[in-house]
Structure 1
Amino acid sequence: MSWPRWLPVDPYVAAMVATIAVASILPARGTAATAAGWATTAAVALLFFLYGARISPREALDGASHWRLHLVVLLTTFALFPAYGLLLGLLSPSVLDPDLYQGLLFLCAVPSTVQSAIALTSIAGGNVPAAIFSASFSSIVGIALTPLLVGAMMSDVGDASLSPAAFADIALRLLLPFVVGQLLRPWIGAAMKRRKKLLTLVDRGSILLVVYTAFSASVVGGIWGRVAVPDLLILLAVEVVLLAAVLGTLAALPFGRDDKVAIAFCGSTKSAAAGLPMATVLFSGPAAGLLILPLIIFHQLQLVTGTVLARRWAMRRAAGPARVT
Structure 2
Amino acid sequence: MRLPKLDPFVLALAAAVLLALAWPAPGETGGLLHWEWITTYGVCGVFFLYGLTLAPERMRAGLWRWKAHLAIVVTTFAVFPLVVLAIEAVLPEALPDAAIIGFFYVAALPSTVSSSVAMVSLARGNIPVAIFNATLSSLLGVFLTPLLMAWYLQSSGAPFPLLPTITKVVLLVLVPILLGQIGRRWLAGWAQRNGRWIKLADRAIILAIVYGAFCDSVAEGVWTQNDPVVVVEIAVGVILLFFVVYALVTVGTRLFGLPREDRIAVQFCGSKKSLATGVPLAPVIFAGRPDVGLIILPIMLFHFFQLLIVSFIAARYAREADDIAAARPSEA
Query: What is the TM-score normalised by the length of structure 2?
Result: 0.90
* Count of equivalent residues: 317
Distance verdict in 2 for CA 1:199–1:13, change over 3 Å: same
Aligned-residue sequence identity (percent) comes to: 34
Tell me if the contact between 2:112 and 2:272 (Cα under 8 Å) persists in the aligned partners.
yes
Counterpart for residue 309 of structure 1: 313
Q: Aligned AA for 1:46?
A: G
How far has the Cα of 1:164 moved from its partner?
Answer: 0.8
Distance verdict in 2 for CA 1:229–1:149, change over 3 Å: same
The CA distance in 1 between the partners of 2:178 and 2:134, in whole Å, is 17
| 1:18 equivalenced with 2:15 (yes/no) | yes
How far has the Cα of 1:224 moved from its partner?
Answer: 1.2
Q: Aligned AA for 1:229?
A: P
| 1:274 equivalenced with 2:277 (yes/no) | yes
How far has the Cα of 1:94 moved from its partner?
Answer: 4.2
Tell me if the contact between 1:162 and 1:282 (Cα under 8 Å) persists in the aligned partners.
no
Tell me if the contact between 1:53 and 1:181 (Cα under 8 Å) persists in the aligned partners.
yes
Shifted more, 241-250 versus 28-37: the winner is 28-37
| 1:133 equivalenced with 2:132 (yes/no) | yes
**Unaligned residue ranges in structure 2 (runs of 5+):** 327-332
The CA distance in 2 between the partners of 1:224 and 1:96, in whole Å, is 13
The CA distance in 1 between the partners of 2:161 and 2:113, in whole Å, is 25
The CA distance in 2 between the partners of 1:92 and 1:98, in whole Å, is 12
1:115-130 → structure 2 map (5 Å cutoff): 115-130=114-129
How far has the Cα of 1:154 moved from its partner?
Answer: 2.2
Shifted more, 240-249 versus 6-15: the winner is 6-15
Q: Aligned AA for 2:13?
A: M
**Unaligned residue ranges in structure 1 (runs of 5+):** none
The CA distance in 2 between the partners of 1:191 and 1:90, in whole Å, is 50
Distance verdict in 2 for CA 1:93–1:230, change over 3 Å: farther
Tell me if the contact between 2:69 and 2:133 (Cα under 8 Å) persists in the aligned partners.
yes
Tell me if the contact between 2:102 and 2:295 (Cα under 8 Å) persists in the aligned partners.
yes
How far has the Cα of 1:274 moved from its partner?
Answer: 0.8
Counterpart for residue 330 of structure 2: none
Q: Aligned AA for 1:313?
A: Y
The CA distance in 1 between the partners of 2:32 and 2:295, in whole Å, is 19
SS of structure 2 residue aligned to 1:125: coil
Distance verdict in 2 for CA 1:302–1:7, change over 3 Å: closer
Query: What is the TM-score normalised by the length of structure 1?
Result: 0.92
Distance verdict in 2 for CA 1:87–1:203, change over 3 Å: same
Tell me if the contact between 2:102 and 2:296 (Cα under 8 Å) persists in the aligned partners.
yes
Counterpart for residue 320 of structure 1: 324
Tell me if the contact between 2:126 and 2:262 (Cα under 8 Å) persists in the aligned partners.
yes
